[in-house]
Amino acid sequence: NAGVTQTPKFRVLKTGQSMTLLCAQDMNHEYMYWYRQDPGMGLRLIHYSVGEGTTAKGEVPDGYNVSRLKKQNFLLGLESAAPSQTSVYFCASSGSGRQGEQYFGPGTRLTVT
Amino acid sequence: DAKTTQPNSMESNEEEPVHLPCNHSTISGTDYIHWYRQLPSQGPEYVIHGLTSNVNNRMASLAIAEDRKSSTLILHRATLRDAAVYYCILKQSTSGTYKYIFGTGTRLKVLA
């Protein structure tokens, strides 16, 4: 059981470039989430998904797009990266029950220059 | 959205109990209270959760005020490995979907 995995672990982009972060979970969870964490801050929800084929906006969705084509995968895209998107990105998944806890991936450290 | 308020930092001596407080005065009746912790350079990990009653598990205890406007995470014997940022989070239910609202957390320092 790998849990939640994220690729890549690190990435440096130039302003205006695009990239996709991949999150995969092997726990058959319905819910998946993308967060960003800026230095010294808590996590802020970017987008989330309550099931295959569905996505919804979180607190800070601007500049990001997501897709959930398969239940086990949740992709986060940056179409035109900006320095303000320099952050650590965490993916998480959880079951659909009211009580279920979230399981987090190890994070992707993204720097936009 | 409801929010949580925690002290920025706390210190504890090793092998002593630690009480980490959290205020969530705007909590809704169906919001679960979750606690996670984040070790350096890692993703958050689940610690404990509850709705109205106090809860115990192998990692910690959660004491919830009767009016649910505050809660306290209790580590019974702090170890050096417990040094982390502890987040008190509300799991909110809206139209059958769930969101987790993170605060800024409490950085716990454990002194040897």
Per-residue pLDDT tens for B18-61? 999 999 988 888 889 999 999 988 999 999 999 999 999 988 99
CA atoms within 13 A on the CB side of A79: 6
Please indicate if any CB of chain A lies within 8 Å of the CB of B111.
no
Answer whether A101 sits within 8 Å of B97, measured CB to CB: no
CB contact under 8 A, A42 and B98: no
* B72-99 pLDDT per residue, tens: 999 999 999 999 999 999 887 776 667 7
pLDDT tens string A68-100: 999 999 999 999 999 999 999 999 999 876 667
C-alpha to C-alpha distance for B44 and A103, rounded to whole angstroms: 8
Q: What is the dihedral of CA A18, A57, B37, B95, to 10 degrees?
A: -160
DSSP class of B71: E
Q: Which residues of A touch B93 (CB under 8 A)?
A: 98
**Residue B109 main-chain phi, psi, to 5 deg:** -110, 130
Phi-psi region of B29 (alpha: psi -120 to 50; beta: other; left: phi over 0): alpha
Residue A80, judged by CB atoms within 10 A of its CB (0-12, 13-18, 19+), counts as exposed
Two tokens, residue A33: 């989430």
Across the interface, of A48, A98, A104, the residue whose CB is closest to B43 is A104
B28-53 burial, b for 16+ CB within 10 Å, e for fewer?
A: eeebbbbbbbbeeeebbebbbbbeee
- How many whole angstroms separate alpha carbon B16 and alpha carbon A102? 28
